[in-house]
Structure 1
Amino acid sequence: MTTHITPAALAQLFTDARTHTHWQERKVSEATLRELFDLLKMAPTSANCSPARFVFVQSPQAKARLKPSLAEGNVEKTMLAPVTVIVGMDLEFYEQLGKLFPHSPDARSWFAGNDAAIQATAFRNSSLQGAYLIMAARALGLDCGPMSGFDAAKVEAEFFPQGTIKANFLINLGYGEASKLHGRSPRFAFEEACQIL
């Protein structure tokens, strides 16, 4: 394999990386969370629209606000995670395109009043940004546990009451307890999932 990064880096980002559900009692600093965002924000989104909005739920008070929205199987691991990230999507992202995509002055008009384009673009690109967050976290030595088992309406009422930001998914962050991992689940072979045309 030809690569521009080391095998150890590939292992950290991909081949050895796991979804964690058990956590060491180690805090994640604000400086690390800021570094995490400064990395993920550089990755591409369509028209640089950057619709993701991130809430880093860390304090016991904030965790208590999140808890009622969680599916039963996600409560314990989320309450014990040092940080839970709410990955939201701003449905008014296009209002920022004058700042984020200045070389196309008409970019706002591509979306304003077009609900289908807004929904699809916000969902697609905030999902990308959530994935970038996972990769940036792994690069910084953090472990991740992404989840979709939660009541989005409850999360939105509690954390995004203004109504323009919707919840996409959650990611637990911290330093995973490797001794609690089970064996890695199977993956598809290239021939099962890919075509070259």
Structure 2
Amino acid sequence: MPALTAEALAQLFVHARTHNAFAPDPIPEATLRRLYDLMKWGPTSMNCQPARLVFVTSPEGKARLAPALSPGNLDKTLAAPATVIIATDSRFYEHLPTMFPAYDAKPMFERNAELAASTAFRNGTLQGAYLMIAARALGLDCGPMSGFDAGKLNAAFFPDGRCQANFLCNLGIGDPAAVHPRGPRLSFEEACRID
């Protein structure tokens, strides 16, 4: 498999920023579907795919979301064309007989709530990262955030308790004028080692 071009790598990583303001243009449903169709191919352990996404785009949906947002995230989220709630399904393992037919892994999670919860959280977070890479690949900008009241958000969007919100991500065409100065990154020597 050939390496991506420098331009593609820059779009996905080097020039990618956390956006705080977006053009008001709505994101077509076809684009949201294409976004999911890309991100779903990212690997998860045992192909468990625990992420559940809610694309909040309507004024009614934003009104349900607003009470859960921290003050610093309120205005930018209400103005964003779409806000994705990246949640995890606590009973993701119900799909394993279809998603992972290699052997019967479902009982392993049914009998171990701690293992199910950690697996859902880890792999759902990974899928959230795939979502952002897929969004950037499609020309969208992202504004991921964790400033929200999870209890309020879960009550508003997942009242049966099966799913739990992990983080939020605003999507759209970002306004570069509203981006904060880029922070530094740790060097290879500071963050990595080769054993």
Q: Is the TM value for this pair above 0.5?
A: yes
Aligned to 1:40: 39
Which blocks of at least 5 consecutive residues in structure 1 are unaligned?
Answer: none
Alpha-carbon distance in structure 2 between the residues aligned to 1:180 and 1:128: 27
Deviation, structure 1 residue 167: 0.7
Aligned to 1:116: 114
Alpha-carbon distance in structure 2 between the residues aligned to 1:85 and 1:56: 5
Alpha-carbon distance in structure 2 between the residues aligned to 1:155 and 1:113: 28
Deviation, structure 1 residue 34: 0.2
Q: Following superposition of structure 1 onto structure 2, how do residues 155-166 of structure 1 map, counting pairs within 5 Å?
A: 155-166=153-164
The Cα offsets for residues 144-165 of structure 1, whole Å up to 9 and x where unpaired, read as: 0001000111111110111111
2:136 aligns with one of 125, 135, 138: 138
Q: Secondary structure at the match of 1:11?
A: helix
Q: Secondary structure at the match of 2:110?
A: coil
Alpha-carbon distance in structure 2 between the residues aligned to 1:132 and 1:10: 15
Q: Normalising to structure 1: TM-score of the pair?
A: 0.97
Deviation, structure 1 residue 194: 0.5
Q: Secondary structure at the match of 2:161?
A: coil
Runs of 4+ in 1 over 6 A off after TM superposition: none
Alpha-carbon distance in structure 1 between the residues aligned to 2:193 and 2:50: 31
Aligned to 1:25: 24
Q: Secondary structure at the match of 1:133?
A: helix
Aligned to 1:7: 6
Q: Normalising to structure 2: TM-score of the pair?
A: 0.98
Q: Secondary structure at the match of 1:85?
A: strand
Work out whether 1:83 is the aligned partner of 2:82.
yes
Aligned to 1:65: 64
The Cα offsets for residues 16-63 of structure 1, whole Å up to 9 and x where unpaired, read as: 010000111211110000000000000100000000000000001100
Deviation, structure 1 residue 113: 2.0
Residue type of the alignment partner of 1:69: A
Which blocks of at least 5 consecutive residues in structure 2 are unaligned?
Answer: none
Residue type of the alignment partner of 1:128: L
Q: Secondary structure at the match of 1:111?
A: helix
Alpha-carbon distance in structure 2 between the residues aligned to 1:186 and 1:26: 31
Deviation, structure 1 residue 178: 0.9
The Cα offsets for residues 141-190 of structure 1, whole Å up to 9 and x where unpaired, read as: 00000010001111111101111111111000010001222321110011
Count matched residues: 194
Aligned to 2:186: 188
